[in-house]
Chain A
């Protein structure tokens, strides 16, 4: 059982919808991340949060809006997405300054 839990596991949304992905970690870590995984592409880092503060935004379009209310929870708010945004969205956590990231199961997002 992973220490990083993501909900929902699957999401289908229309291009005009607004939805949110949720991530919760029970590992006592203070760094959390959102990654995007598309077929035949490397994992793409989207956002990094250290102690609830965003420290990296990897040129992600504004239709993706992260929120980190505390060190254990991370959200990704989605609005007016495009079909090319369909992918597996992975949340991860690590100790601050640590390079070992622990991933959740991911949310399989399909934009129609």
Chain B
């Protein structure tokens, strides 16, 4: 079993839709949760960073962590074509710098 599971997609939505991206994880020691966005032929860029359970909002993006069910989500409101990218979830136990990534979900927002 992979430590972090993520549906690879592709996920295709119309412009303006609410997008929900999800990951599940198996290691209850994970305390830090991140979402990275990776455009084609680019490196991943950090989008959202949360510690422990709860919600974090940044503009059109909301990250949600439910440690009881080991489930992490990224919501994108009013999705735009520029949001088309691969979204990677990542987790860490904290300290030691070691991140564990999901495979990434490819998102396409169509006009």
Residue positions of A touching B, CB distance < 8 A: 2, 4, 6, 31, 33, 40-43, 45, 48, 50, 56, 90, 94, 96-106, 108
Contacts and interface: CB of A to CB of B under 8 A. Distances in A.
Nearest to A42: B101
Nearest to B104: A42
20 contacts: A2-B45, A4-B43, A31-B97, A33-B97, A40-B8, A40-B103, A42-B101, A43-B88, A43-B90, A48-B97, A90-B43, A90-B44, A99-B92, A99-B94, A100-B34, A101-B97, A101-B99, A102-B46, A103-B44, A105-B41
Contacts of B56: none
A54 B10 CA distance: 37
Q: State the majority secondary structure of interface residues on B.
A: loop
A2 B43 contact: yes
A29 to B, nearest CB: 10
Given A2-B43, A90-B44, A105-B43, A45 B98 contact: yes
A101 B34 CA distance: 10
A2 B36 CA distance: 14
A108 B4 CA distance: 25
A88 B49 CA distance: 24
Contact of A100 (B8, B42, B49, B101): B49
B59 interface: no
Contact of B99 (A40, A99, A105): A99
